[in-house]
Structure 1
């Protein structure tokens, strides 16, 4: 299994992981759901500051959950 995040702007535009300024330690895939969720928990503010409005957790190509808003308020 390969766990990853899909990032979107408010208008639904998908943001590629390499298009996120300030996010340097992002692995393309995580080996477990827990690792993916922990990474997001540590980095969601930086993602939100980079223009990410919502995220989707994927297991390979299957959507596990989402959209989940990244709100700073």
Structure 2
């Protein structure tokens, strides 16, 4: 069995609390995860996401990113 790395985004609202929705897809590469965020950040911001954190197998892998208000 091949184990693939898992990358996913976690999102925070305006008050800094973690959001249950929207839910990030799970990616096998950091590149794919970052590309997805680059393509969808506007839709995420419209859903109330103010910050995003990239998590690799349960551990935050990048600094928290602030999404611009639209």
TM-score by length of 1: 0.81
Give the equivalent residue in structure 2 for 1:12: 16
Q: Report 1:37-56 matches (<5 A).
A: 37-56=34-53
Stretches (4+) displaced over 6 A:
none
Which structure shows the higher strand fraction?
1
Gaps of 5+ in 1: none
Is 2:64 the counterpart of 1:67?
yes
What is the aligned length?
Answer: 66
Change (3 A) 1:72 1:11: closer
Rg larger in structure: 2
Q: Report 1:18-33 matches (<5 A).
A: 19-20=21-22, 26-27=24-25, 29-33=26-30
TM-score by length of 2: 0.84
Aligned residues: CA RMSD: 1.6
Gaps of 5+ in 2: none
